[in-house]
Amino acid sequence: MKKLSILVVYALLSISVFAQQALWGGQNIVSPEIGPDNKVTFRFFAPKAIKVQLTGDFLAPQKIDTPFGKVDAPGMVDLKEGKSGVWEYTTSEPLEPELYSYSFIVDGLKVIDPNNVYLNRDVATLTNIFIIGGGRADLYKVNNVPHGSVTRRWYNSPTLQMDRRITVYTPAGYETSGKQYPVLYLLHGMGGDEEAWVTLGRTIQIMDNLIAEGKAKPMIVVMPNGNVALEAAPGESSLGFSKPSFQLPKTMEGSMEESFPDIVNFVDSNYRTIKKKSARAIAGLSMGGYHSLHISKQYPDLFDYVGLFSAAIMPDAKVKSPIYDNMDEKLKIQFNKKPKLYWIGIGKTDFLYKANKDYRKKLDDKGYKYIYYESEDGHIWRNWRIYLTEFVPQLFQ
């Protein structure tokens, strides 16, 4: 009996050691360190490295070639090696309030900061994040306000003949209020999924804070997966731990638009929604803006509020779908029904700037009313968070 007790103790100790092993080996280094003047210091321990660099969206951007043309990419600077193999870099100027992302490049290999556990995934890229508070950036923080709830729900799409996953935000008090709520359908860009707006877009924090400040109506926010060939985000479906991909099949050829009423029907059947056009909004970034444009004109009685954030506008010339046929006629029907808000936002250096300018001219020539918001920078999450904070307060007023 005594031997058995000893064996049990050893077994429990072994389990404990195995469970705790991830806690060992950490570095006693602070990175990033935000100073009182909002200058930020980054540190990386690499005593055998030849060169350590930092790349981040707070550094002067560099132009890179993509299939869509030249776009802005995060800049890059060198760190200096100090004592005991700790490399260091401090920003030359204080950083403005914002949520920032960064990573290190060690002898040509891009790595995350081992001293910062806060990360975002954008398609297949992991980057560390930090927030400089103040101004609009306070909306991106978890503040001491009433908090809504976030659930991942599976719905059946008869159109696509598959089960799929959506992310749903319900405002603080939803569970006990008994009230009915308006709904914002918020769509991601190419390569994203139903997690993108929650993580990269800080939607939950933005909604909690705007509602608490009385700047936005309490509303449900539904974030679908716009990749209709997939059930859910990478690692969350029957495909298992598949590698995220930027360009997926069936993303901008009409299937998302055609199947979208399946999502609306599921939400109206499973949540206390106000089942009227005047209580529905749809908005999206890039590919999601493209989907929002074409869904809203395809179903002109579904949405009274439309937001196009750095939107792609027209389908590829090779794409053939009835969804994109008779665009001028469908826009005429949509605007004759007088949507309460048609909102367009774009950055001055966005590679889609000209396409949006041309689309606005089309609307102007027809006398269709819309609100236009132009920001700095290009096709980046910093802009899309700004657009969400500008768009949401105008809904359901």
Q: Do 333 and 188 share a domain, yes or no?
A: yes
Which residues 6+ apart lie within 8 Å of 232 measured at CB? 164, 165, 193, 194, 225
- CA dist 129 and 34 (Å) reads 12
Assign residue 190 the CATH number of its domain: 3.40.50.1820
Q: Is residue 26 very low, low, confident or very high in pLDDT (cuts 50, 70, 90)? A: low
pLDDT at residue 9 tops 50: no
| Lookup: tokens for 234 | 């990478």
In a domain, 1, yes or no: no
Q: Is residue 7 very low, low, confident or very high in pLDDT (cuts 50, 70, 90)? A: very low
Q: Do 84 and 175 share a domain, yes or no?
A: no
Token pair 């969400």 in the structure block, residue: 388
Buried b (16+ CB within 10 A) or exposed e, 304-329: bbbbbbbbbbebeeeeeeebbeebee
Instruction: Sort strands 183-187 and 220-223 into parallel, antiparallel or unpaired.
Output: parallel
- CA dist 75 and 370 (Å) reads 35
What pLDDT shows up at residue 4?
47
Q: Do 303 and 198 share a domain, yes or no?
A: yes
Q: Cα 147 vs. chain centroid, distance in angstroms? A: 19
Q: Do 270 and 151 share a domain, yes or no?
A: yes
What pLDDT shows up at residue 104?
98
Q: Which of 133, 167, 200 is the last residue of a domain?
A: 133
Q: Which residue range(s) make up the domain with 283?
A: 144-394
pTM score > 0.75 for this model? Answer: yes
In a domain, 234, yes or no: yes
Q: Do 206 and 83 share a domain, yes or no?
A: no
Q: Is residue 286 very low, low, confident or very high in pLDDT (cuts 50, 70, 90)? A: very high
Q: Do 266 and 363 share a domain, yes or no?
A: yes
In a domain, 6, yes or no: no
Mean pLDDT of the chain: 92
In a domain, 127, yes or no: yes
- CA dist 227 and 224 (Å) reads 9
In a domain, 316, yes or no: yes
Domains contained in the chain, number: 2
Name the least confident of 164-168, 235-239, 280-284, 362-366.
Answer: 235-239
- CA dist 305 and 281 (Å) reads 4
Q: Which of 98, 133, 168 is the last residue of a domain?
A: 133
In a domain, 185, yes or no: yes
Q: Which of 90, 113, 133 is the last residue of a domain?
A: 133
Q: Do 103 and 174 share a domain, yes or no?
A: no
In a domain, 312, yes or no: yes
| Lookup: tokens for 84 | 């005991």
Q: Do 164 and 125 share a domain, yes or no?
A: no
Q: Do 246 and 358 share a domain, yes or no?
A: yes
Q: Do 154 and 112 share a domain, yes or no?
A: no
Q: Do 217 and 308 share a domain, yes or no?
A: yes
The alpha helices in 200-318, defined as continuous H runs, are 203-212, 255-270, 287-298
Classify the phi-psi angles of 38: left when phi > 0, otherwise alpha if psi is within -120 to 50, otherwise beta.
Answer: left
Q: Is residue 90 very low, low, confident or very high in pLDDT (cuts 50, 70, 90)? A: very high
Q: Is residue 21 very low, low, confident or very high in pLDDT (cuts 50, 70, 90)? A: very low
In a domain, 180, yes or no: yes
